[in-house]
Amino acid sequence: MIKTLYVRILLTFLGVILFSLICSFFIGLYVFQKQISDEGQNEMLKVGREMIHRYDEAKPADLDEFLSSMVRISAHPIHLYAASGEHAFYGLPDESAAVISSEAVHQVLQGQVYRSGAEDPDTFIGIPFMLQGEWQALFLQYSAENEHIVNRMMLFVLLLVLGLGSLCMIAAARYLVEPIKALTNATRRMALGDFEVDLAVKRMDEIGELTQSYTEMARGLKKLEQMRQDFVSNVSHEIQTPLTSISGFAKALQNPDLIPEEDRKDYLEIIAAESGRLSRLSDNLLKLASLDSDHHPFTAVDFRLDEQIRTIVVTCEPQWSARHLVIDLELPEAVHIVGDEDQLKQVWMNLLGNSIKFTPEGGKISVRIDSRADEAVVTVRDTGIGIAPEELHAVFQRFYKLDKSRHGSSSGNGLGLAIVQKIVSLHQGQIELDSTPGEGTTIRIRLPLRQKE
């Protein structure tokens, strides 16, 4: 079985060329056979009349010698028929005599010119020839030697075309197959986890487009692999840290001699807090996985956005009141929006939770809704510690945490804003972030009032 594309292309080309040449040869022979026969007969008629003219002028004594010399000069064998039925043949060495019917001989003896037709097996012409006062029938047959030369020439041309075409096809096949071989090798490397694929194929055809698409796919897979590795590393770190604390304090609590009774409550509170941290991490991971899938439920309903945000602020009152924060609400009445109520609730919870966490005691958090013709703009502004300019582009990345040395908090898992961005995207909205270190942060969410189909 032929397995390589290179050999298949060559064999296919050779098969097509051979089939085309053979078919072309027979079709051309069929189309031009009559023309070739007519041209040959016209040429033999000229030669025959020239022979008769020379004989009439020279009146040679030896007829046989004269006709033999004419055969050598013209390369056409000669048949001479007398009225008495006598037949003489003058031909070249190894030349076979044509079969001439008696009807053709009789027609020429009657003074007519005869041309062979489709019923005659050979090509010849007949001319009446007055010899010593009697009509003779002079026949010239088409020389097989000339026909062989033409056939050999045609065969040589066909073989030359086949040879040159094969050489060109070998080069063309290599030109076509080499990029595919490079793609195959690159695929094997990618299957082993090597995404450093750089295919230097600069072509403007379909193979060039395929190579370019393949290179882009390799870059995308490399990026996905890096994201996967980072994700595994971040998840492992986020899980390992609270597990270490839980395990350490639990072992300490097992030995009553090591831990004073008054410290046991603090240790148990730490264990509970770390367990809650693990639970929140698990919930956020499940929520992100669900949001990333194409099967996440999206229930679009008409609800009042102002009431939802007001409810969220009331729900978070224990947190912001414990830090003595001032909440300023600018919520117009009856702002209706069509969207997933549960998902948008998660957005406001995360944004308000971040503002509470990073705003010092006595600070202020403002929540405002601007209702426009086709969109609602929700602005959450705080007077917190802000975000450094070099970190603004990264805060929406998963597991990204702000500088702990400045912000003094590590209780989050770096998934809150990633969830916010995903939900806003699902609602065909936009999110804008503006922050100044030491002054505060402003997050602006733009949501269409109605979801597009």
Are 125 and 113 within 8 A, CB to CB? Answer: yes
pLDDT given for residue 36 in this prediction: 65
What's the pLDDT tens digit per position in 286-306?
A: 776 777 766 667 788 899 999
In three-state secondary structure terms, 432 is: strand
Is pLDDT of 412 > 90?
no
Residue at 127: amino acid letter? I
What's the pLDDT tens digit per position in 338-385?
A: 988 888 988 998 899 889 988 999 899 999 999 888 889 999 999 988
What's the pLDDT tens digit per position in 160-202?
A: 777 777 777 777 777 677 777 778 888 888 887 777 777 766 6
The CA distance from 404 to 418, in Å, is: 19
Closest CA to 447 of 283, 315, 309: 309
Closest CA to 81 of 65, 62, 101: 101
CATH code reported for the domain at 297-448 = 3.30.565.10
Calculate what percentage of the chain has a pLDDT beyond 90.
Answer: 13
The CA distance from 58 to 55, in Å, is: 5
Written as six digits, the tokens of 403 are 């500088």
DSSP string, 205-223: SHHHHHHHHHHHHHHHHHH
Phi, psi (deg, nearest 5) at residue 127: -130, 135
Which class would CATH give 206-290?
Answer: mainly alpha
Show me where the domains of the chain are located. 5-148, 206-290, 297-448
What's the pLDDT tens digit per position in 21-72?
A: 777 777 776 766 666 677 778 888 998 998 888 888 888 888 889 888 888 8
In three-state secondary structure terms, 375 is: strand
DSSP letter, residue 143: P
Mean pLDDT of the chain: 80
pLDDT given for residue 369 in this prediction: 92
Closest CA to 375 of 337, 341, 348: 337
- β strands within 118-171, DSSP E: 124-131, 134-141
Residue 1 banded pLDDT, cuts 50, 70, 90: very low
The CA distance from 396 to 387, in Å, is: 12
DSSP letter, residue 61: S
Tell me the C-alpha to C-alpha distance, in Å, between residue 373 and each of 351, 381, 431, 440.
Answer: 25, 23, 18, 29
pTM for the full predicted model: 0.49
Written as six digits, the tokens of 168 are 């060109």
| Superfamily for domain range 5-148 | PAS domain (3.30.450.20)
pLDDT given for residue 294 in this prediction: 65
